[in-house]
Amino acid sequence: MKLVLASSNPGKLSELRALLGSSIDLHAQSEFGVGDAVETGLTFVENALIKARHAARATGLPALADDSGLCVDALHGAPGLHSARYAGTHGDDEANNDRLLRELADIPEAQRTARFVCVLALLHRPDDPMPLIAQGAWEGRILRERRGAGGFGYDPVFFSPAHGCASAELPPEVKNRDSHRAMALAKLRAGLVPPR
Ligand code: ITT
């Protein structure tokens, strides 16, 4: 099956490529000259659908989109939907992590709980009335400083109690087995059928 990934985030592309394996021929939307969709949704689900529809329309291929983020309890769910542009500039991971650590500077350990969330949406065509949608969440808490050099985005500041380390300290195969993205993809796969 040939799919376009409706994303400009290289971290998502490499994780989803590894997760999908060789049975799915996954192409970045940039290979077709497709730029970012405007994410006007009020939910991760809406934004995932907007991105998948945009890429499916532009390429004529089935499209997979990933809308994800970090929800921090002490910040009432922020950065949430705005995770990619939390510090102002879209995709500035360093600035986003700096802001997060700053906002939580006075928050005690017990209140630093957070989760990574991921919604995947698969459209067989732009007007597909039955998109496949799947969600995953990964529980953890926010560290006081960065740890590790793996992953991307907020991985250096996200501590996973289940693993006893930051997600940036996990080997890629462990993150890809246990992450919010892995959980969502496992559910999506269960619903995958060949396009008609
Ligand atoms: P596309 O919309 O082009 O896919 P994006 O990076 O703008 O890329 P989102 O709007 O879904 O994607 O924003 C997701 C944000 O959450 C972004 O800041 C990521 O770095 C972060 N994020 C998502 N999954 C993550 C993960 O597995 N580890 C660390 N950070 C993650």
Nearest CA to ligand 1 atom 17: 84
Bridge pairing between strands 25-28 and 165-166: unpaired
CA distance 62 to 44: 19
CA distance 64 to 130: 13
CA distance 69 to 171: 20
- Per-residue model confidence (pLDDT) at position 1: 83
- Per-residue model confidence (pLDDT) at position 32: 97
Please state the atom number of ligand 1 nearest to the C-alpha of residue 153: 20
- Per-residue model confidence (pLDDT) at position 94: 98
Nearest CA to ligand 1 atom 13: 84
Please state the atom number of ligand 1 nearest to the C-alpha of residue 179: 27
The length of the chain is 196
Hey, is 72 helix, strand or coil? strand
Q: How does DSSP classify residue 37?
A: P
Q: Does domain 2-191 have CATH number 3.30.1490.100?
A: no
Peptide bond preceding 79 in cis form (omega within 30 of 0): yes
Q: Which residues are catalytic?
A: 67
Domain boundaries, the chain: 2-191
Is the Cβ atom of 8 under 6 angstroms away from ligand 1? yes
CA distance 106 to 58: 46
Q: How does DSSP classify residue 126?
A: T
Mutation pick for ligand 1 pocket among 68, 115, 158, 176 (CB with most ligand atoms within 8 Å): 68
- Per-residue model confidence (pLDDT) at position 191: 84
* Distance (Å) from CA 44 to ligand 1 centroid: 11
Sheet containing strand 165-166, edge to edge, reads: 25-28, 2-5, 63-72, 113-123, 132-142, 158-160, 165-166
- Per-residue model confidence (pLDDT) at position 194: 60
Q: What is the mean pLDDT of each run of 10 residues along the chain (196 residues)?
A: 95 96 93 96 98 98 98 98 97 97 98 98 97 98 98 98 98 98 96 64
CA 162 to chain centre: 20
- Per-residue model confidence (pLDDT) at position 155: 98
Nearest CA to ligand 1 atom 4: 7
- Per-residue model confidence (pLDDT) at position 192: 74
Is the Cβ atom of 154 under 6 angstroms away from ligand 1? yes
